[in-house]
Amino acid sequence: MIPGMASLAHRQADDVFITDELNTRAPSRVDSLKEKQALQDLAARMSSWPEEVLPRFVELAMEMTEGSSAGLSLYEEEPAPGVFRWRWLQGLLSPFEGTTVPRDFSPCGVALDRNDIVLCAHPERVYNWIAEAGLTIPEALLVPLYLGGTVPLGTLWIIGRGPRHFDRGHARAMKELASFVDIALRMVRTEERLQQALDAQQMLAREMSHRIKNLFAMTNGLLRLSAHAASDKDELVQLMSGRLQALATAHALVRPAFRGPVRGDRDHAGAAKAAGHDLDTLIRTIVSPYERSGTEQGSRFAIAGPGVSCGEQSSNGMALVLHELATNAAKYGALTTEHGRIAVDWRLSDGKLALQWEETGGRPIEAEPASTGFGGSLVRTIVQHQFGGTLSYDWRDDGITVRIAVPADRLSA
């Protein structure tokens, strides 16, 4: 609260804000042709040069009222409780272009709060920031601007050349001009949003085409490699079915997302992009089919780690790695017994993701396998070549521990 605001309230009402005087002043001679031309001018700019609507609006307002200066105080929400920024200034006050003034301690704020035209005389007597700028304002006519009657845009203000400069004819003309600008800006805003939607749709189509090509290429590679590892068609179907399901799961998690425009005058174009998913969600989704056999004794998986976002390609790769580890655990490891458990945890350190898959309670392991099957080769290829990481196995009597370390920045791809 500005010091002395309570004591100034009466002075503001009686001495500064004199809007009622507009009704007592005879209107100046109306130049209907000039008003019509002004509206036509704004309409033409709206269709061809929409960025010129507001500056031309200020220029026309000063011309039609024969003021000494004019400008827009555009409302900005931040920093709270908000400020007005002076834009497109004309006349004597043009050197103050870009100046910010308080939202809650200015004549423009009063006009916006009242949502009606306001006339004030010598506001520098109350608003010390006007006096400190060395400004003397005999009269100012202020017109609130709302987009669609709800979103505050700011205020048009016009400075008179002397006392009793403005009359009700000026007020009427400015209100009509402001109403037209409101319609024009809403039309421009609608056109912008339509274009944003079209751009986002085109980007989404390109993104989907790219992802489908990648999936076909990966599927083709898996088919060829699985065919070499399978002993018959039934085994090939089983191998491919599981791996394709893992890819489908990752593909479903990594979905295109649309980010639309934000509220207010500072709207920006939306963007369509591939939205990645958290590593925790990916792991839980891949291993969920293996939970059902252990429901009577609680979860078979203990999963813990910080939030890590994975992009499309890394999600596909991680899904295949996790699927192979889970499949091996179901065939040979911890998931072959009712008491088997798997702990999956990860951490981020020194720019790397360190993930550990530890199995306990499975069938006893007599010796480390002499050779690696296709699944193991696939895991090693993805970790080393796709992620540029390292992979190690620790074989114990009661289970296996798999350690994977990859550069964290490779996960965003």
For position 402, which CATH number holds? 3.30.565.10
pLDDT at res. 264: 39
Q: Are residues 281 and 152 in the same domain?
A: no
* Structural domains in the chain (count): 2
pLDDT tens across 192-244, in order?
565 666 665 665 556 455 555 555 555 555 565 556 556 676 766 666 666 66
Contact 74, 265 (CB under 8 A): yes
Q: Are residues 284 and 139 in the same domain?
A: no
Counts for the chain of helices (H) and strands (E), in that order: 10, 15
- Indicate the residue among 191, 213, 237 that finishes a domain: 191
Classify residue 241: in a domain, yes or no.
Answer: no
Classify residue 197: in a domain, yes or no.
Answer: no
Q: Are residues 40 and 138 in the same domain?
A: yes
- Residue 300: both structure tokens together: 């078979």
Q: Are residues 32 and 168 in the same domain?
A: yes
Q: Are residues 308 and 406 in the same domain?
A: yes
Task: Give the separation between CA 93 and CA 135, rounded to whole angstroms.
Answer: 9
- Indicate the residue among 191, 226, 249 that finishes a domain: 191
Classify residue 260: in a domain, yes or no.
Answer: no
Share of the chain above pLDDT 70, in %: 66
Task: Give the separation between CA 131 and CA 149, rounded to whole angstroms.
Answer: 32
Q: Are residues 180 and 283 in the same domain?
A: no
pLDDT at res. 9: 44
Q: Are residues 124 and 9 in the same domain?
A: yes
Mean pLDDT of 390-410: 91
Classify residue 337: in a domain, yes or no.
Answer: yes
Share of the chain above pLDDT 90, in %: 29
Cis ω before 79 (30° cut-off from 0): yes
Q: Are residues 187 and 45 in the same domain?
A: yes
Classify residue 231: in a domain, yes or no.
Answer: no
Mean pLDDT of 336-365: 91
Beta bridge partners of 274: 256
Task: Give the separation between CA 365 and CA 185, rounded to whole angstroms.
Answer: 73
- 166 pLDDT above the threshold of 90: yes
**How sure is the predictor about 263, in pLDDT bands with cuts at 50, 70 and 90?**
very low
pLDDT at res. 10: 40
Q: Are residues 156 and 285 in the same domain?
A: no
For position 28, which CATH number holds? 3.30.450.40
Classify residue 156: in a domain, yes or no.
Answer: yes
Q: Are residues 74 and 184 in the same domain?
A: yes
- 256 pLDDT above the threshold of 60: no
pLDDT at res. 275: 44
pLDDT tens across 317-350, in order?
888 788 888 878 877 888 888 888 999 999 999 9
Task: Give the separation between CA 216 and CA 200, rounded to whole angstroms.
Answer: 24
Q: What is the pTM of this model?
A: 0.47
Q: Are residues 173 and 289 in the same domain?
A: no
pLDDT at res. 332: 82
> Residue 22's domain spans which residues?
5-191
Classify residue 208: in a domain, yes or no.
Answer: no
Element spanning 62, H or E? helix 53-65
Classify residue 212: in a domain, yes or no.
Answer: no
Q: Are residues 282 and 146 in the same domain?
A: no
- Indicate the residue among 163, 191, 219 that finishes a domain: 191
Contact 303, 284 (CB under 8 A): yes
pLDDT at res. 257: 41
